[in-house]
Chains A and B, each alone.
Chain A
Amino acid sequence: MKILIPIKRVVDYNVKVRVKSDGSGVDTTNVKMSMNPFDEIAVEEAVRLKEKGVATEIVAVSCGVAACQETLRTALALGADRAILIETDVELQPLAVAKLLAALAAEEKPELMILGKQAIDDDANQTGQMLAALLDWPQAAFASKVDIAAGVATVKREVDGGTETVEMKLPAIVTTDLRLNEPRYATLPNIMKAKKKPLTTTTPAALNVDVAPRLTTLKVVEPPKRKGGGKVADVKELVAKLRTEAKVIT
């Protein structure tokens, strides 16, 4: 079984992000970039499936600028067998990524694609679902346990109020939640071996996908600073303030 794992290069989770002065987005110059943590969980799950003998090949794929190769090398160091970069300088939105992945899936014919449920930069939580729709594959988003047997994936999903277990026929889409696994560290020998694993590059044009943005970002701003609280003399004043100032009761 071949598994395709799409991964995204994002601002490292330790970095305190700054909004660009013109409000057009987040400043990423000279900022440490890493693999989206949810995607690390996806890579780990794929590697575990391969170690169990369920998967035979793991292909990591990333869409974006040339520097995404570094992130793909990380996936290779963690255990992916080869990597594909769909290179573009265009700012990619979830639908464009889903279309690129769908086109690539048509070529690669994986039986399972594991994605992070969302990326920690835009938190869109859309690509996996859109991809399933485009491919017309079954999907199990927010997975906390995955079992594969006889062409069927049994997935425990995190849902409001608990977990739900679903079964779906392969090929299928899984997106990862935090509890699915704890990703391993890349070992030094595997970091060295990753250098020699194949990494090929293609483009949206070669996949015949139009990646032009469909959404326009109007403005990016810092969250408002918390204002200091105040003290009220009694319940009466509190109720009055909730009604007239906070306007949360009528």
Chain B
Amino acid sequence: MSTYYAPLAEMQFVMNHLAGLEQVAKLPGFEDATPDTVAAILDEAAKFATQVLDPLNASGDREGSKLLEGGVVKTPAGFKDAYLQYCDNGWNGLTKSPEYGGQGLPQLVATAVEEMWHASNLAFDLCPLLTQGAIEAIELRGSDALKKKFLPRMVAGTWTGTMNLTEPQAGSDLAAVRTRAIAQGDGTYKLHGQKIFITFGEHDYTDNIVHLVLARTPDAPDGVKGISLFVVPKFLVNDDGTPGARNDVHCVSLERKLGIHASPTAVLAYGDHGGATGYLVGEENRGLEYMFIMMNLARFSVGLEGVGISDRAYQRAVTYARDRVQGRAVGLEKNAATGAIIDHPDVRRMLMTMRAYTEATRAVAYVTAAALDNAANNPDASARAKAQAFADFMIPIVKGWSTEVAQEVAALGVQVHGGMGFIEETGAAQHLRDARITTIYEGTTGIQANDLIGRKTARDSGAVAKAVVAEIHKVAATLAARSEPSLQAIGVALAAATADLQAALDWMVPAYGQRTRAAHAVAVAYLKLWGLAAGGWQMGRAALVAADQQAAAGGGDPAFLHAKIATARFYADCLLPQASAYARTVLHGSESVLALDVEAF
């Protein structure tokens, strides 16, 4: 069996040389994120992931969370202890404000740590992830009283949080939310309705759960402008902070799912026994707007789930490929061949594909995380705005592309295992099943692509997009001008992808305004093109750094640097060429997507 080990050297390479940890650590508020402290944090997180979370991943998948009598949910064996230990060790408060007991560390550091949680046990990490979203909502727009009542306990993890958006008729379209909230005249509201797909909506970890719920007040306008956001705790909270009376929110069932079995996905009934007491967050009718502020980070985190699962699937596949003896490796000397399947060229192709995609998606995500840190804490207003615009542009790409890539990587992980990959005991299949939700929740790939072509590309007439293309072009030119043949080859491939990207961008901006359905029909191709090119951009930068370190005496681990350049070259030779296919689809594909009448299906 394969054990998860966090790729610390790779993570630190990306943080230090691509994302610019040194610059982030100079931002006001992030001064504690010095390289030695960050190394100590990553070391300790890696230990926790390997020793505590990874061993529970397969057993949690097999056992699943169960709904018992009286709406009680039992999480799989070991999960509660692991959660309590996770909180005791302070991980829940990594990025949270010191005002509420957090450590206030940069998103870039959290990103590497979160990747370890996602990789070692995605289902486990969903609870802290949702708590984080709920904390943000209360912190951003909640009253001081709400903050005081809930935040310290939520930051410590003593209470967890959930996000209640979806209803049976309101999935991607939240305008259809029907849950009602009626003001009681004492500042509180009574909520009635049903919410579905509530991750960790009920569990046995803690003695209270804080639900963030979207609902409508009676006189609210129709559509998205009539939705408000409420805090509805499972137990009302007394003035001394202790849990009081049971609130009227109950888990009525748990979903049976394709993956993330350890994570209880609850159907929650509000107000079946007179009304669930809720507290308004911010102002009435602005709930969706608040939700979207948090959505950015939630989408980023799901993209990172794609990175984590890809890496886990890759590590498992490598372990198996080294071990599994089958046939003789073609073309190798009789006695040199080990017989392990890792010697077969096609298995190498699969492992390199998995590796290159994992490294590329990681680099793109970490660079985006550093932009989020600059957007939050850079003292220079124009640098802040620039970083925010870049992060806003990249987030649908990180979310959409990394999770789509994870499908392919996890599927290849199964393929490397051959028939045994289809058998659950190898663990390869779990990654494929767990990965499957990531392209769906927090906005499907289609929703991400719509966001990318609309709000992120067309709204500013492609201004931010063009600036990013120019950056990619610069890296391609630098690579092409180098003397090393590998770097030149990467540069040529990246330049070609940049041209494809430019062509697709030039098509998309006018198309979005004039031929809306056509633009949407090829939006996902446009998103994947961006992902591939952004991955090539970061892999190209990584190759440049690695080559410079190779040239400098004592510049780094020679084996690591060699592998980095070889992986970047593989990405350029074998994956990046897909960019031209996607560009062709963007430029020419929309008509055929929409050619058939509905009746023809």
A interface vs B, CB < 8 Å?
14, 29-30, 32, 34, 70, 73-74, 77, 185-192, 194-195
Q: Is B94 a contact of A188 with CB atoms below 8 Å?
A: yes
Counting chain A CB atoms within 10 Å of each CB, the highest count among B34, B43, B47, B88 belongs to B43
Q: Choose one: B32, B90, B557; the contact of A195 (CB below 8 Å).
A: B32
Q: Closest chain A residue to B36 by CB distance? A: A70
Q: How far is the CA of A195 from the CA of B37 in the complex (A)?
A: 7
The interface residues of chain B lying within 8 Å CB-to-CB of A187 are 88-90
A187 to B559, CA, bound (A): 33
4 smallest CB-CB distances across A and B, nearest first, come from A188-B90, A30-B557, A187-B90, A187-B89
| Distance in Å: Cβ of A212 to nearest Cβ of chain B | 27
Across the interface, B41 reaches (CB within 8 A) one of A34, A70, A191, namely: A191
Residue of A nearest to B89 (CB): A187
Chain B residues within an 8 Å CB radius of A34: 43
**Contacts A73-B40, A77-B40, A195-B37; A188 near B32 (Cβ below 8 A):** no
Once the chains are docked, how many angstroms separate the CA of A73 from the CA of B94?
19
Query: Can you list 14 A-B pairs, Cβ within 8 angstroms, ordered by A?
Result: A32-B8, A34-B43, A73-B40, A74-B40, A77-B40, A185-B47, A185-B85, A186-B40, A186-B89, A188-B93, A189-B90, A189-B93, A191-B41, A192-B103
**B34 → chain A closest CB, angstroms:** 8
Chain B interface (Cβ within 8 Å of chain A)?
Answer: 5, 8, 32, 34, 36-37, 39-41, 43-44, 47-48, 85, 88-91, 93-94, 103, 556-560
In the bound complex, residues from chain A placing their C-beta under 8 Å from that of B32 are 192, 195
- Residue with the highest number of chain B CB atoms closer than 10 Å, among A14, A70, A186: A186
CB nearest to B33 among chain A residues: A192
When C-beta atoms are compared, the residue in chain B nearest to A74 turns out to be B40
Chain A residue contacts of B47, Cβ below 8 A: 185
Q: Cβ of B34: which chain A residues have Cβ within 8 Å of it?
A: 195
- Separation of A186 and B5 alpha carbons in the complex (Å): 18
**B89 pairs with A185, CB closer than 8 A:** yes
Which of the residues B39, B88, B94, B556 comes within 8 Å of A30, measured between beta carbons?
Answer: B556
Min Cβ gap B172→A in Å is 36
Interface SS, B side: helix
- Tell me the minimal C-beta distance from A43 to chain B in angstroms: 14
A128 to chain B, nearest CB (A): 26
| B38 nearest CB neighbor, chain A only | A191
Chain B residues with CB under 8 A of A189: 90, 93, 103
Contact (Cβ within 8 A) B44 A30: no
If the complex has contacts A30-B557, A185-B47, are A192 and B37 also in contact, measured as CB distance less than 8 A?
yes
Query: In the complex, how many angstroms separate the beta carbon of B29 from the nearest chain A beta carbon?
Result: 13
Give the complex CA separation of A30 and B12 in angstroms.
13
Tell me which residues across on chain A come within 8 A of B90, comparing CB atoms. Answer: 187-190
Contacts of A195 in B (CB 8 A): 32, 34, 37
How far, in whole Å, are A157 and B357 apart by their CA atoms in the complex? Answer: 52
Please, how many angstroms separate the alpha-carbon atoms of A187 and B36 in the complex? 16
Interface centre among A70, A185, A187 (most CB of B within 10 A): A185
User: Residue of B at shortest CB range from A32?
Assistant: B8
Query: If the complex has contacts A30-B556, A30-B560, are A188 and B36 also in contact, measured as CB distance less than 8 A?
Result: no
Per the bound structure, the CA–CA distance linking A94 and B32 in Å amounts to 36
- State A186–B85 Cα separation when bound (angstroms): 11
Choice from B48, B103, B557 contacting A185 with Cβ under 8 Å: B48
Query: For B5, what are the chain A residues with a Cβ–Cβ distance below 8 Å?
Result: 14
Complex alpha-carbon distance, A190 and B39, angstroms: 14
Complex Cα gap A30–B563 (Å): 14
Q: Other than the known A186-B44, A188-B93, what 17 A-B pairs have Cβ atoms closer than 8 Å?
A: A30-B560, A70-B36, A70-B39, A73-B36, A74-B43, A77-B40, A185-B48, A186-B40, A187-B90, A188-B44, A188-B91, A188-B94, A188-B103, A191-B37, A191-B44, A192-B103, A195-B34
Q: How far is the CA of A98 from the CA of B144 in the complex (A)?
A: 58
B556's nearest neighbour on chain A, judged by CB, is A30
Q: How far is the CA of A73 from the CA of B90 in the complex (A)?
A: 18
Bound complex: CA of A187 vs CA of B87, how far in Å? 9
- Is A185 in contact with B44, judged by CB distance below 8 angstroms? yes
Say how far B560's CB is from chain A's closest CB, in angstroms: 7
Select from chain A the residue with minimum beta-carbon distance to B558: A30
* From A32, A187, A188, residue with most partner B Cβ within 10 Å: A188
CA–CA, A225 to B221, complex, Å? 78
CA distance A37 to B379 in the complex (A): 44
A185 to B5, CA, bound (A): 17
Instruction: Determine if A194 and B40 form an interchain contact, defined as CB atoms under 8 angstroms apart.
Output: yes
Contact B40 A191 (CB under 8 A): yes
Cβ contacts under 8 Å, A77 to chain B = 40, 44
Distance in Å: Cβ of A107 to nearest Cβ of chain B? 27
Q: How far is the CB of A227 from chain B (nearest CB, A)?
A: 16
Which residues of the partner chain B approach A192 to less than 8 Å between Cβ atoms?
32, 37, 103
Nearest A residue to B51 via CB reads: A185
Please give the distance in Å from B125's CB to the nearest CB on chain A: 15
B359 to chain A, nearest CB (A): 19
A189 to B32, CA, bound (A): 12
Give the distance in Å from the alpha carbon of A31 to the alpha carbon of B93 in the complex: 31
- Residues in A whose Cβ lies below 8 Å from that of B40: 70, 73-74, 77, 186, 191, 194
C-alpha gap A105/B298 in the complex (Å): 53
Give the shortest distance, in Å, between B30 (CB) and chain A (any CB): 12
Q: Residue of B at shortest CB range from A188?
A: B90
Chain B residue, CB-CB nearest to A31? B557
The CA-CA distance from A74 to B32 in the complex, in Å, is: 16
Specify the chain B residue showing the minimal Cβ separation from A14.
B5
CA distance A5 to B510 in the complex (A): 70
**CA distance in complex: A192, B101 (Å):** 13
Measured in the bound complex, the distance between the Cα atoms of B92 and A188 in whole Å is 9
Q: How far is the CA of A74 from the CA of B42 in the complex (A)?
A: 12
Instruction: State the CA gap A162–B558 with chains docked (Å).
Output: 48
* Chain A minimum-CB-distance residue to B3: A14
Q: How far is the CA of A187 from the CA of B88 in the complex (A)?
A: 7
CB contacts (< 8 Å) of B37 on chain A: these are 191-192, 195
Chain A residue at smallest Cβ distance from B47: A185
CA distance A186 to B103 in the complex (A): 15
A187 to B103, CA, bound (A): 11
A73 cross-chain contacts in B, Cβ below 8 A = 36, 40
Across-interface contacts of A32 in B (CB, < 8 A): 8
Contact present for A188 and B89 (CB under 8 Å): yes
Judge whether A188 and B39 touch: CB under 8 Å: no
Query: What are the residues of chain B within 8 A of A185 when measuring CB–CB?
Result: 44, 47-48, 85, 89
Q: Within 8 Å CB of B43, what residues of A? A: 34, 74
The residues of A that contact B39 with a CB separation of less than 8 Å are: 70
Q: Contacts of A29 on B, CB cut-off 8 Å?
A: 557
When distances are taken between beta carbons in the complex, the residues of chain B under 8 Å from A74 are: 40, 43
Question: Within the assembled complex, what's the spacing in Å between the Cα atoms of A118 and B3?
Answer: 27
Give the nearest-CB partner of B87 in chain A.
A187
B188 to chain A, nearest CB (A): 35
> How far does the Cβ of B4 sit from chain A's closest Cβ, in whole Å?
12
Name the residue among B90, B93, B556 with the largest chain A CB count within 10 angstroms. B90
**Given A30-B557, A73-B36, A188-B88 contact (CB < 8 Å):** no
Report A7 CB to chain B, min CB distance, Å. Answer: 15
CB distance from A20 to the nearest CB of B (A): 14
Tell me, rounded to whole Å, the shortest Cβ–Cβ distance linking B108 to chain A. Answer: 16
Chain A residues lying within 8 Å of B89, measured Cβ to Cβ, are 185-188
Query: Which A residues are CB-close (under 8 A) to B8?
Result: 32
